[in-house]
Amino acid sequence: MIAMGIDLAAFEKNQTGIATVDENLNCVSFTVFSDNEIIMVAKLIMPDVILIDAPLSIPRGRSSIDDKGGPHFRKCDLQLRQLGIRFFPITLGPMRDLTKRGIKIKDALSRLGFSVFESYPGGVQDLLGMHRNKELGMLLNDLKLVLGLKGCFPESPHEADAATIAYLGIEYLKGRAVGLGDKDEGLLFLPATEQVISVKRSS
């Protein structure tokens, strides 16, 4: 088994972190920029699942991400809020550009036959008692001590976040991840903790 995590930037000029994790928790991370590079890496690695840190859908009832009159939150966003996890609404300024690119990348990878899902490294880190990427040195320790990743030495916050959700990809393949939200609007995957399972069941 191999999972690929993508910490996607809103624009190709900025760094996108990529990481892969296998079933033995061996991890490799690196940085790319363009859509073509992301797709090329996926083709070379052929992961069993790809998790992307970017919104991959828009709220139900919204005609487009630029529709200023539609709903601002998806069901998965509201469930994140129930969990007390901090996040930026997808209709907020720069998040619109990230959403557009995220959907574009997801569609391109899906057409190639890859299983592609949304995740949120900050949410994974909060739920597992880890530091977020603003405290990079501590997060790097957490990748090894909390997640058990081996051979993983991310050189940027983007790579560290990509490694976090690549780990979750392995958990997904082992049946230990939960998709918040609903399938028709869009799922966001997090670890299957008691807290997440409870919110999923109650919504």
Q: What is the pTM of this model?
A: 0.94
The model's confidence at residue 157, banded by pLDDT at 50, 70 and 90, is very high
Q: Pick the closest to residue 9 from 169, 159, 181, 188 (CA basis).
A: 159
Placement of tokens 């557009």 in the chain? 100
Residue 161's pLDDT is what? 97
- Whether the CB-CB separation of 127 and 86 falls below 8 Å is answered with no
H helix runs in 17-119, sequence order:
35-45, 75-82, 94-111
The model's confidence at residue 65, banded by pLDDT at 50, 70 and 90, is confident
Residue-number span of the structural domain to which 123 is assigned: 2-202
Classify strands 186-191 and 177-182 as parallel, antiparallel or unpaired.
antiparallel
pLDDT at 158 over 80: yes
What is the per-residue pLDDT across 88-136, written as a single tens digit (0 to 9) for each? 888 878 889 999 999 999 999 999 999 999 999 999 999 999 999 888 8
- Whether the CB-CB separation of 187 and 179 falls below 8 Å is answered with yes
For range 156-176, the mean pLDDT: 97
Regarding predicted confidence, which is higher, 180 or 72? 180
Residue 11's pLDDT is what? 96
Residue 94's pLDDT is what? 82
**Alpha-carbon distance values, 178 to 14, 108, 137, 148, 193 (Å):** 30, 24, 28, 20, 8
Domain holding 92: CATH number? 3.30.420
State how far the Cα of 56 lies from the Cα of 114, in Å rounded to an integer: 14
State how far the Cα of 10 lies from the Cα of 190, in Å rounded to an integer: 22
- Whether the CB-CB separation of 162 and 15 falls below 8 Å is answered with no
pLDDT at 152 over 80: no
What does the block give as tokens for 138? 């501590």
Number of domains in the chain: 1
Tell me the CA end-to-end span of the chain in Å, nearest whole number.
32
Residue 188's pLDDT is what? 97
**Alpha-carbon distance values, 192 to 129, 160, 171, 180, 188 (Å):** 14, 21, 9, 10, 12
What is the per-residue pLDDT across 5-42, written as a single tens digit (0 to 9) for each? 999 999 999 999 999 999 999 999 999 999 999 999 99
Residue 69's pLDDT is what? 76
The model's confidence at residue 162, banded by pLDDT at 50, 70 and 90, is very high
Hey, how many other C-beta atoms are within 10 angstroms of the C-beta on 151? 12
Task: Report the percentage of the chain scoring pLDDT > 90.
Answer: 81
